Homo-oligomer: A and B are copies of this chain.
Amino acid sequence: MSTPIPAELLSVGTELLRGEIVDTNAGYIAAQLPLLGIELQRMSTCGDNLDYLRDVLQQALGRATVVITSGGLGPTEDDLTREAIAATLGETLTIDPELEKNLRMMFSRSGREMPPHNIKQAMVIPSAKALPNPRGTAPGWWVEKNGKVIVTLPGPPREMTTMWQNEVIPRLKARFPMKPILARTVKTFFVAEATVAQLMEPFFSIDNPTLGIYAKPDGIQVRLIAHGDNAKELLDESEQKIRNLLSAYVWGKDDDTLAGLVGKWLINKNLTLATIEDMTGGLLADAITSTAESRNYYHGGLIATNDHAKISGGVPVEIIGKHGAVSAEVAEAMAVTVRTSLATDIGVSVTGITGAESKQPGLVFIGIADSHGSKTWQQQYQVGRADTRERVAIAALFRLRERLIELKLDV
């Protein structure tokens, strides 16, 4: 295993410093680098100011082998990344005839004349090779000089990610060949981050694989990164240990989603699903329908965020009157009713209270009705978190998974 290549990342744009747009590029690139054997050591964000940019670039090149920039490639006077790199390297910007031709063609194809200042986007320095940008007018740069590499990317995330995947990854792999680096993520639910951290303690002293713990809306994730020729074996072995330690909390790994896994089981068993939701107000349906396959098993849902809607949906008014809308009885009646009215094999319900004004804010009931009967779960959520509704929707999917396992319907 060679040592990781040190890198720095520079995000360019005054709008980032004013908090007017969120820098999603930095996180995206940061997450990509470990798998390329590149170690990000610093990230900086700088406004549209030539002196500051030069200063940051110069320092970054002094420390790192790879410097990646994003943003500042637009056509206006404020877009100064090209100028700053040229100045830092002591090179001169000139118009590249090929790039100019492409640029003019792009404008004429969309029936517009190229504004004069756009010519900036056809400029390069001698050390730079242009990286094509199929989604915009600003080409990127791949610069090699004095053993250092500068990668210059456009700011708009769609342009950046396309260029990163198509142009940058292959070049980085060719320029810095390395032993395999692999990652694996084990996904859990209904377990606290502190508990996972405690159970994972034995791993913290291990260098290969390294282990990280991350809280996401769909639960706590454990990520392993291994390097070397036996990286896959190391991951397999560690994954098994983690599964043994976390046992029932583990629901999937890597790109698995709860909705995707549950959907696969339903398709395999030829079962259909309907939902009815209060509180989550559409987020349970949204999670389910975010996969294209859901058309095959999801026969629709009801949003029933007040008594009127629950009663229209078929929930008996007496049950609501007797137990209150947020109760195990109503959750059960909702699940049974939606299963009947949409004629599906399984009905899932959510009812709960978000508002701090209610008697028991954060109280949630989840119900599932199927051919074996029905079942409800009571849960208590923290109030005032922006993602509570999303967490409750995912909890309902997790309960559905539990129920499918209980009925031995898993595959």
Contacts and interface: CB of A to CB of B under 8 A. Distances in A.
A46 interface: yes
Interface in A34-77: 34, 39-47, 52, 56
A400 to B, nearest CB: 16
Given A17-B43, A20-B212, A282 B286 contact: yes
Contact of A302 (B16, B28, B29, B300): B300
Contacts of A280: 286
Contacts of A22: 24, 27
Chain A interface helix/strand/loop/mixed: mixed
A290 B281 contact: yes
Contacts of A24: 22
Contacts of A389: 286
A99 B21 CA distance: 37
B20 A223 contact: yes
A313 to B, nearest CB: 7
A214 interface: yes
A30 interface: yes
A385 B159 CA distance: 12
Given A281-B290, A312-B341, 20 more contacts: A17-B43, A19-B28, A19-B29, A20-B214, A43-B44, A158-B385, A281-B282, A281-B288, A281-B289, A282-B284, A282-B285, A282-B303, A285-B303, A289-B305, A298-B305, A298-B309, A300-B308, A301-B303, A301-B309, A302-B302
Interface of A: 15-24, 26-34, 39-47, 52, 56, 158, 212, 214, 223, 275, 280-286, 288-290, 292, 294-295, 298-306, 308-310, 312-313, 341-343, 354-355, 385, 389
29 contacts: A15-B212, A16-B43, A18-B31, A18-B34, A18-B212, A19-B32, A19-B33, A20-B31, A43-B44, A158-B385, A281-B285, A281-B286, A281-B289, A281-B290, A282-B282, A282-B283, A282-B285, A282-B303, A285-B285, A285-B303, A286-B286, A286-B389, A292-B354, A295-B305, A295-B306, A298-B309, A300-B303, A300-B306, A301-B302
